[in-house]
Chains A and B, each alone.
Chain A
Amino acid sequence: MIYVLDDVKLKDLRLKANEIRQLIIETLVEAGSGHSGGPLGMADIFTSFYFHILNHDTKNPAWEDRDRLVLSNGHICPVQYATMALAGYFPIDELKTLRKINSRLQGHPHRTSLPGLETTSGPLGEGLSQAIGIALAGKLDKKNYRVYCLTSDGEHEEGNTWEAAMFAAKNKLNNLIQVIDRNYIQIDGTTENVMPLDPLIEKYKSFNWNAIEIDGNDIKSFIDAVEKAKMVTDKPTIIIAKTIPGKGVSFMENDYHWHGKPPNKEEAEKAISELKDIGKQLT
C-alpha cells in the first residue's frame, strides 16, 4: 500500500494529533490517575502510526499480515488508547473506563483484554525483546510485516533493553524499527540527573544499529525517518524522537512533575482550552 503524504494529509494528521491530545486530557481527568507528560509528547508519533504508517485493519485486529506496534513503556497507554479509539478500534466513549473496574483499558496495557494490543507492558525494559520475538516470527514465516517498538529513555536504564539491542543487531532484524521517546524526563527527575544516557545515538551506532535522530513532534520529519528506516537491509533501526513532554499544554511542557500524574478538573479545562486554540490555528 502506498500512502501519500501531501499538505492536505499533513494538516489532517496535525488536527488528529490535536484531537488526540484533548482526548488524553479528558480520559486522564476521568480516570483520576495516570501519566500526562509522555502521552501528550507522543501524540504526533501515535497519530503518524495509526493514521499513516501502519498497515492495519481496525475491523480485523488479528489480521496476520498487519504491521505490529509494540508499546514497551506501557505507562503512556492513554495516548495509544485515545489513538486507537479515534482510528476505530473501539468506541471513543469507552475511553472513560480507563483504569476502572471491568474495563478493557487496563492501567497498563494487557494484550488479551483489548484486541489490537500486541503485547502486555508496564514493567520497563521488556518491550524491545518482545518486538524481537515478533520480528523473528515474521522472518521465519517469510512475512513482510514490520515491527515498530516504542520505548522510553528512562527504560534504557534497564539492562534488558541493551540485551535486546545486542540480539537485534546480531540477527540483522531490519524488519524491526525502534522509536525512542527521548523526552529527557522520568519519575524522579531529568534523565541526565537520574542516569545520564547521552550520547545516545553513538551508543546505538556502536551496538550496530542504524540510528536516526529527529524532532518527534514534527510529523513530517518522523514519517520521513520511518521511510528511510524501511530502506535498510542489514540492521535494525532506532529513530531517536526528541519530544516535548506535555506538548501542547503550556504548564505541563518539559516539567517532570507531570510525568506520572493526571490533571485535576480545573487544570484539565485550562489544558483543553489551550489545545483548542492550537487546533484553531491549524485550520
Chain B
Amino acid sequence: MLNPDLKLNQKLFDQDVEVKPTRAGYGEGLLELGKKNPDVVALSADLTESTYAHLFAEKYPERFFQCGVAEQNMAAISAGLGVSGKIPFMSSYATFSPGKNWETIRTTIIYNNSNVKIAGHHAGIMTGPDGATHQATEDIAITRSWPNVKILVPCDSMEGKKATIKAAEINGPVYLRFTRDKTPIITTDETPFEMGKIQTFWNSENPVATIFATGYMLFYALLAAKELEQEGTNVLVANVSTIKPLDEEAIIALAKNTKAFVTVEDHQVMGGLGGTIAEFAAKNIPTPMEFIGLQDTFAESGAPKELIEKYGMGKDSIKQAVRNVMKRKS
C-alpha cells in the first residue's frame, strides 16, 4: 500500500488522476524563488517557454537573461553570476545542457564551485516524437561523475517544485532533471521532501524485493508493485529523488530487509540510478539486481507510452524484473 506517513495522492491509481509535467514544477518553483529571493536570476538558451522559465522571465525581466542558442555561453555566464553573489538557474534541454556544454560546466561551475543550478529538461525517452537527438539518456551518468555536485530527479511536478526551491538553499552546484510529458501527480503539498533521503512510497508485509525508481518512472514502479501484490508478491518501492549524495543508510537497510533490488529509470542503465546503487551495494552489501532502463541503445521517435513499452521499461517489464531477481536470491 501507499505509505500513509508520506501523505501521497490517494487518487494516484484512479483513471482521472491529475497529470502534469515535472518541468511545470520547475517553473512554479522558480517563480516562487523570484518572489522570495532577489538574488535568484534565470537564464535560458532560446527554450524559455518549454523549460517553463517564462513564468519567471515575465514576472522578473530584469533578472532574466536570454542567451540565444548558446549553451556554453549560458553556462559560463551563470558561473560568473554565481561567484558574484547571485543564484543563477540555467535551463535548456538536457542533451544540450549539460550535454553540449559539459566541459564548460565542469570547469567554470563545478570545479570553480560556482553557485549555479543547472536544469536539464526533456530528459529521457519520454521526450517522445522529437526523437533520440532530443532524448537525454546519459545526463545522470555525465553529471554524477563530477565531484562537488548534487543531483535531484523529481518524480512529479509537486516534487519538482520542492526540489527547485530546495536547490536555491544549497550553496553550490546542483543538477535538476526534468521531463516533458504530463505524468501523474504522486505526492501532495504535505509530502515531506528532504534532499539526500530515499523514501519508501510503497509498503508491504514481508517484501521480497525493493524497486528503486527515479523521476516519473516511479509511477510505473508503483503500478507494478500494486499488481504484484494482488498476485501475491510483496515488494517495496523506493523513490530516489536524490541521486547524489546517495542515501547509503537507506540502501543498506533495504538490502537487509528485501535482499533483492530492481532499479527503474528513464536513462541508460549504465551510469544512472542502477549504476549508482550497484556501485554502492557491490562494495557494502552485495545484492542481486535487475536494471530497467535503456539497455545501451538509442531510442527513436514515437509516443512516450509506446517507447516505454518497446524499450522494455513499462509496468510488465518491471514485474518480470522482480520475478527474475527473486530467482537469483540466495
Q: Which one, B68, B70, B78, B104, contacts A133 given CB within 8 A?
A: B78
- A126 within 8 A of partner (CB): yes
Q: Which one, B67, B103, B108, B111, contacts A130 given CB within 8 A?
A: B108
Interface centre among B67, B75, B107, by most chain A C-beta atoms within 10 angstroms, is B107
Q: Mark B97-139, 1 if CB is under 8 A from A, else 0.
A: 0000001100110011100000000000000000000000000
Interface of B with A (CB < 8 Å)?
41, 62-63, 65, 67-68, 70, 72-73, 75-86, 88, 103-104, 107-108, 111-113
Interface size in chain A (residues, C-beta < 8 A): 32
A123 to B81, CA, bound (A): 19
A110 to B85, CA, bound (A): 18
| Closest Cβ neighbor of A135 among chain B residues | B80
The smallest C-beta distance from B83 to any residue of chain A, in angstroms, reads 7
- Grouping DSSP codes into helix (H, G, I), strand (E, B) and loop, the A interface class, with mixed when no group exceeds half, is helix
> Which 8 interchain pairs have the tightest Cβ spacing?
A133-B80, A129-B76, A137-B84, A163-B73, A163-B70, A120-B112, A130-B80, A133-B81
The number of A-B residue pairs with CB atoms under 8 Å apart is 103
| Closest Cβ neighbor of A166 among chain B residues | B68
Q: Which one, A119, A136, A160, contacts B73 given CB within 8 A?
A: A160
Q: Which one, B73, B77, B86, contacts A140 given CB within 8 A?
A: B86
Q: Mark A102-144, 1 if CB is under 8 A from B, else 0.
A: 0000000011100000111111011101111111111011000
Q: Which of A67-112 contact B (CB under 8 A)?
A: 70, 110-112
Given A111-B113, A123-B107, A137-B85, decide whether A130 and B77 contact each other with a Cβ distance below 8 A: yes
Q: Which one, B84, B104, B112, contacts A134 given CB within 8 A?
A: B84
Residues of B within 8 A of A131 (CB): 80
A123 to B41, CA, bound (A): 26
A130 to B88, CA, bound (A): 13
Given A112-B113, A126-B72, decide whether A136 and B81 contact each other with a Cβ distance below 8 A: yes
Interface of A with B (CB < 8 Å)?
70, 110-112, 118-123, 125-127, 129-138, 140-141, 159-160, 163-164, 166-167, 171
Instruction: Flag if B112 contacts A133 (CB, 8 Å).
Output: no
A122 to B77, CA, bound (A): 16
The smallest C-beta distance from A158 to any residue of chain B, in angstroms, reads 9
